[in-house]
């Protein structure tokens, strides 16, 4: 049997009286994009936060490629190959798109000299290629503050890819983007991840996006996985229609 890319065992955490993770055990296989859906407050973001080391569980384990990473700080988990993208892109808005990637590459390569010329580093071509992969080569030299939200989302993904992850965890990759742009952004994103051989887990509230881009769906409820399966099967499940999609079954 092959080792899962990511495995969690009995993850549990409470905030006051709220059980945000309630004995969560699941396995994520390489090469299968998993969407996480569920009602507000179900614990979806908490799950991503635990897997990336931002929150430590009261109980349970996170294994990445078979290694127990539960106790590691977030930066060590990134070094192992787990990257994260947030609902709001985490970029240096007064720098250009390319500089944002060069800064990520410098951090990845352990370059700590603040006087170094970022544009004169071996990673420059690689970073330009990443911008091409997310269809943003034409804005490489523009300040991030001048770009659209959709472009910022894509550059944020390129920054994550600069860290050479094997797994990318994303919180609502298309939130804040006009609905007419969502599909285009997901197409670019999923294609770039496939080219970079990165598996994704993404929290998503837009069921059209889930249907089209997820290989598998996990439904969160009250801090645990309630259901898991293929998008077509999960999105037609009466419990999902009632609790997540919000229509009367």
Ligand X SMILES: Nc1ncnc2c1ncn2[C@@H]1O[C@H](COP(=O)(O)OP(=O)(O)OP(=O)(O)O)[C@@H](O)[C@H]1O
Q: Rounded to the nearest whole angstrom, what is the least distance from the CB of residue 118 to ligand X in the complex?
A: 34
Q: 107 Cβ partners below 8 Å, 6+ apart? A: none
Question: With binding defined as CB under 6 A, does residue 46 bind ligand X?
Answer: yes
- DSSP symbol at 138: G
Among 2, 17, 40, 94, binds ligand X (CB under 6 A): 40
| Residue (33 or 46) nearer to ligand X, CB | 46
Among 6, 11, 20, 34, binds ligand X (CB under 6 A): 20
- DSSP symbol at 3: P
Q: Rounded to the nearest whole angstrom, what is the least distance from the CB of residue 19 to ligand X in the complex?
A: 8
Contact indicator for 36, 6 with CB cutoff of 8 Å: no
- DSSP symbol at 143: B
Q: 125 Cβ partners below 8 Å, 6+ apart? A: none
- Contacts (CB under 6 A) with ligand X, residues 179-208: none
Q: Rounded to the nearest whole angstrom, what is the least distance from the CB of residue 13 to ligand X in the complex?
A: 8
Contact indicator for 45, 244 with CB cutoff of 8 Å: no
Q: What are the backbone dihedrals phi and psi of residue 197, each rounded to the nearest 5 degrees, phi first?
A: 55, 45
| Residue (43 or 89) nearer to ligand X, CB | 43
CA distances from 97 to 142, 146, 179, 225 (A): 6, 10, 24, 37
Name the token pair of 9: 């065992």
| Residue (44 or 152) nearer to ligand X, CB | 44
| Residue (13 or 130) nearer to ligand X, CB | 13
Question: With binding defined as CB under 6 A, does residue 97 bind ligand X?
Answer: no
Q: Rounded to the nearest whole angstrom, what is the least distance from the CB of residue 133 to ligand X in the complex?
A: 28
Question: With binding defined as CB under 6 A, does residue 18 bind ligand X?
Answer: yes
Segment interacting with ligand X, rule: CB under 6 A, options 2-10, 35-43, 69-77, 125-133: 35-43
Q: Is the dihedral of CA 89, 76, 224, 202 positive or negative?
A: positive
| Residue (151 or 200) nearer to ligand X, CB | 200
- Give the binding-site size for ligand X (rule: CB under 6 A): 12
Among 33, 45, 100, 174, binds ligand X (CB under 6 A): 45
Alpha carbons 113 and 49: distance in angstroms, whole number: 30
Among 28, 34, 37, 38, binds ligand X (CB under 6 A): 38
DSSP E strand stretches across the chain: 6-15, 18-28, 34-37, 59-64, 67-68, 82-85, 167-171, 199-203, 216-221, 224-229
Among 15, 195, 197, 242, binds ligand X (CB under 6 A): 15
The binding site for ligand X (CB under 6 A) comprises 15, 18, 20, 38, 40-46, 220
């Amino acid at each position: 049997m092959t080792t899962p890319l990511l495995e969690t065992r009995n993850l549990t955490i409470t905030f006051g009286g709220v059980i945000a993770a309630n004995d969560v055990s699941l396995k994520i296989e390489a090469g299968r994009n998993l969407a996480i859906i569920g009602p507000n407050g179900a614990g979806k973001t908490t799950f991503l936060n635990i897997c990336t080391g931002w929150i430590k569980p009261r109980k349970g384990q996170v294994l990445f490629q078979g290694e127990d990473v539960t106790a590691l700080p977030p930066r060590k988990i990134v070094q192992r190959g787990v990257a994260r993208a947030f609902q709001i892109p985490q970029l240096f808005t007064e720098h250009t798109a390319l500089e944002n990637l060069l800064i990520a590459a410098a951090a990845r390569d352990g370059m700590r000299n603040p006087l170094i010329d970022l544009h004169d580093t071996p990673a420059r071509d690689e970073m330009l290629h990443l911008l091409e992969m997310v269809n943003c080569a034409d804005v490489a030299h523009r300040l991030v503050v001048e770009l659209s939200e959709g472009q910022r989302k894509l550059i944020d993904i390129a920054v994550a890819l600069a860290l050479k992850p094997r797994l990318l965890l994303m919180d609502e990759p298309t939130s804040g983007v006009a609905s007419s742009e969502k599909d285009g952004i997901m197409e670019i994103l999923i294609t770039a991840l496939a080219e970079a051989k990165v598996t994704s887990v993404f929290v998503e509230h837009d069921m059209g996006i889930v249907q089209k881009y997820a290989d598998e769906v996990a439904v969160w409820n009250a801090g645990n996985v309630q259901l898991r399966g293929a998008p077509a099967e999960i999105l037609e499940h009466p419990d999902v229609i009632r609790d997540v999609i919000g229509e009367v079954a």
